[in-house]
Amino acid sequence: MLPLLLVVATACSSAITTSPAPASPTATAASHTPNAPSSLVQPTKIVVVVMENSPYDSIAGNSALQFIHGTIAPNSVALAQMHADSAPSLPNYVWMAAGQSCGAAGSDSAWGRTCPSVFDQLDRRGIGWTVFAEGYPGRAGSCFTGETSGVGDYARKHVPPLLFTSTSSGSACTNHVRNFPNDTPADGSAPVDNFAGMPLPALTFVIPNLCHDMHDAASACGAAGGGQLGGDRWLRLNWASLTKDAGPNGAVILTWDEGDAFDGHIATFVGGQNLAASGSDGRTFDHSSTLRAIEDAFGLACLAGACKAAPLPVLLRPH
């Protein structure tokens, strides 16, 4: 049995030792001091990779996903009780950025959310962020807000800043939303360094296209892959680049938007070159926990549900 399955078997009965979540503020955007032990440090870069539509057991119990089980899981913290916040896809991407659905629950086309997001917070503080969406057709100086590109397998509903009014137009869009620089060889023969010569900002979201994020079935994707095996292959080709370019002070989060309509239980892994934690974590997390980890790392006020959420275990060992 692969290492992840051993992690799953023990995760529900114990948790790794990490810092507890601070007490919940009463305001939805209250300021707070990140709770990090003095021997550990917050990451200076966070990369979030979001895959699609996979219940926890379909990842944790699927030994055919050789890269996830053989490389990512043994070198990450596996979260045994991570949960999506809504269904279908779009509201979960809103939760990751805002700590609430902002009225988008139940919709996959609820553009134009007006609640504050982490992207607004970062812009106000002058902290860099970029969202790389594979197949995004926007060009320099233009912002593409079509639901799909008409070419390839891009989907707007999976791109967090394009779900909010404040970051789906103007410079907030053109300066921060880009096509994923996918230099993967056509035959998929070897991993690549997609970000060579391109320093990552403080926060990076990476959104694979529908054939690489496990959303579309293999039968719909042909040579592009598709299905869970296609997603595992995409990770094999790109994971090393993401962890390397996050640097020694970076954390890389691999998560899924949702499980299925009946169970929001999803797999999530937290990795990094100097991640303090290892093994499994049996505490309960959700997408607000991802947001809380980002806010804690960059000294931002907590938004909505993030104020009550335990942050994902992204703390690093000093080096």
- Mean per-residue pLDDT of the chain: 85
Q: What is the mean pLDDT of residues 64-75?
A: 96
Instruction: Extract long-range pairs of 22-27: CB within 8 Å, 24+ residues apart.
Output: 24/307, 24/308, 25/302, 25/307, 27/307
Instruction: Give the pair of three-digit tokens for residue 84.
Output: 């999506």
CB 301 within 8 A of CB 29: yes
CB 292 within 8 A of CB 35: no
Task: Give the pLDDT confidence score for residue 35 in this predicted structure.
Answer: 52
Residue 29 has pLDDT above 60, yes or no: no
Residue type, 117: S
Task: Give the pLDDT confidence score for residue 181 in this predicted structure.
Answer: 79
Catalogue all structural domains in the chain, each as residue range(s) with its CATH number: 44-278 (3.40.720.10)
Torsion on CA atoms 55, 61, 62, 68, rounded to nearest 10: 90
CB 156 within 8 A of CB 149: no
C-alpha separations of 246 from 38, 45, 185, 205, 302 in Å: 22, 6, 22, 12, 23
